Structure 1
Amino acid sequence: MSIEIRDSPQFYLTAPSPCPYLQGKQERKVFTHLIGERATRLNDVLSHGGFRRSQTIAYRPACESCKACVSVRVPVADFVWNKSFRRTLRANQDVISDMRAATPTSEQYSTFRAYLDERHADGGMADMTVLDYAMMVEDSHVNTKLVEYRLRGDNLPLNRHGEGPLIGVSLTDVLADGLSMVYSFYEPEMTDRSIGTLMILDHIHRTQELGLPYLYLGYWVEGSRKMAYKGRFLPQERLGPNGWDRVEK
């Protein structure tokens, strides 16, 4: 009897569905499973090739007539801390961040739920339950962390661990060549603080401290207001037909 051992990943193509970023467009994705001992190495390789992770799936766009989704990463050693970014840091001096194990909590889900209801009430994640959220966080075969952002200061309500109010969370993968921000959310009432920007700036600093070269931000989509913010973090590299192209402005 012969036994066939398949070490190569198997890739699949989804059926067309409405694009969440560009009105009137259809999207398709190519995907594979990230499971078992090979998951970490495979996730590293595929991330370098423009794939993103969602639980135990790695995927990337495979649209037939559109190439608008472009993978973006920041070479953190060269990142320019402009005046706008420095203002964001100054405005949030009372915010502390902590990278910890990928363990879901009801406190996180409350923030997640508020974020979805305010910013993505008609999106594909709108009906996610607390169990769905737990799966999003825990269902990973790679090195995944949570980065929590909390207020600090006198006269603030504290949780049972003595921590200040939670205002933002990032689900983050640690790759061989950088950090990858898988999914981030924050309290919608904190819009004036630019918490989304703060979380990216914090991840740039964390990547630098780890001695890793890149922060992966996912897809930048030209023409999409939802994704326009990613173009602000310069210089950056965008994945094209010939590899990663550097963009200075």
Structure 2
Amino acid sequence: MNTQSAPSPQFYLTAPAACPYLPNETERKVFTHLVGPRASDMNDLLTQGGFRRSQNIAYRPACEACRACVSVRILAHEFSPARSMRRIQALNSDIVGTETAARPSAEQFALFRAYLDDRHQKGGMSDMSSLDYAVMIEDTHVNTRVIEYRVRTEGSGIGGTRGELVACALTDLMGDGLSMVYSFFNPKLDRRSLGTFMILDHIRRAHTMGLPHVYLGYWVKGSRKMDYKTRFQPQEHLMATGWERYTPERTPPLDT
């Protein structure tokens, strides 16, 4: 593959495929390659324009008759957790998140497979191998990190025994925020609500770093598995006229 950066990105359109979120709908995506020394700057610009990153590809929906996919970003500086979120933070007070380089490990992959096998048996990633996982983590030309979440144990730290790995997040560090590219967790620990906990931790990290936003990807109204994203208020949605503050119609369940 040619990894030389071009003066300006070239965009391509995928063929129609079944929509993974809404029944009886098809989807198309517009995409470009994120490579070369300008990849991070381009990733920032495209993410702010509603694109998402997957490996060295930036993409966004380009469906002809549907605009259901809406980009979501949390306003980290204004965020205040609801009572239920504070309970989740307290429940996971024994978990430590450690930022590492974007390198895969066998321990991460085992957790990733357990998550897919429990939550996404029929998803597009269901047959990913350890090599596929390694490519997902390492194939990046932007400022990417893996945040590992482990249960704190006696003796953890330098020279001590590392605690159990219970969750991971693949995260891009951008000029205006953190973009949660992909996250996964131990599906047997439902009581901990680890998906919600990781988002809360990213909001905290963004605020501490002086970054205004946490990008959550797409929200699709009517898709129950995406409803949790609108719990994190205040947030903005990317509309035809730009980013607009969103007012939720109801309080969706904390099922992440």
Q: TM-score, normalised by structure 1?
A: 0.94
Aligned to 1:32: 32
SS at match of 2:188: helix
Q: Which amino acid aligns with 2:237?
A: R
Aligned length: 243
Contact 2:96 2:150 in 1 (8 A): yes
1:9 and 2:15 matched? no
Identity of aligned residues (%): 57
5+ residue gaps in structure 1?
none
Deviation of residue 80 (structure 1)?
2.1
Cα distance between partner residues in 2 of 1:224 and 1:151 = 32
Q: How does 1:83-162 map to 2 (within 5 A)?
A: 83-154=83-154, 162=161
Could you report, residue by residue, the CA deviation over 1:63-101 in whole angstroms, capped at 9, with x for unpaired residues?
011111000001101112110110000111111111111
Q: Which amino acid aligns with 1:121?
A: Q
Cα distance between partner residues in 2 of 1:36 and 1:152 = 39
Q: How does 1:90-239 map to 2 (within 5 A)?
A: 90-154=90-154, 162-239=161-238
Aligned to 1:78: 78
Could you report, residue by residue, the CA deviation over 1:23-78 in whole angstroms, capped at 9, with x for unpaired residues?
11100000000001111110010000000000000000000111110000011011
Moved more, 42-51 or 147-156: 147-156
Deviation of residue 226 (structure 1)?
1.5
5+ residue gaps in structure 2?
249-256
Could you report, residue by residue, the CA deviation over 1:4-27 in whole angstroms, capped at 9, with x for unpaired residues?
x94110000000001111111100
Could you report, residue by residue, the CA deviation over 1:96-154 in whole angstroms, capped at 9, with x for unpaired residues?
11111111000000000000000001011001000000000000000000001111135
Cα distance between partner residues in 1 of 2:91 and 2:46 = 37
Aligned to 1:68: 68
Q: Which amino acid aligns with 2:111?
A: T
Q: 1:161 to 1:58 in 2, by over 3 A?
A: farther
Cα distance between partner residues in 2 of 1:154 and 1:11 = 51
Q: Which amino acid aligns with 1:84?
A: S
Contact 2:52 2:60 in 1 (8 A): yes
Q: Which amino acid aligns with 2:153?
A: G
SS at match of 1:189: coil
Cα distance between partner residues in 1 of 2:13 and 2:138 = 25
Cα distance between partner residues in 2 of 1:154 and 1:101 = 25
Cα distance between partner residues in 2 of 1:92 and 1:187 = 13
Q: 1:60 to 1:167 in 2, by over 3 A?
A: same
Contact 2:101 2:146 in 1 (8 A): yes
Q: 1:161 to 1:181 in 2, by over 3 A?
A: farther
Cα distance between partner residues in 1 of 2:188 and 2:171 = 23
Contact 2:155 2:161 in 1 (8 A): no
Aligned to 1:57: 57
Cα distance between partner residues in 1 of 2:176 and 2:240 = 21
SS at match of 1:100: strand
Cα distance between partner residues in 1 of 2:102 and 2:6 = 30
Q: Which amino acid aligns with 1:222?
A: K
SS at match of 1:200: helix
Cα distance between partner residues in 2 of 1:34 and 1:20 = 24
Cα distance between partner residues in 2 of 1:185 and 1:77 = 25
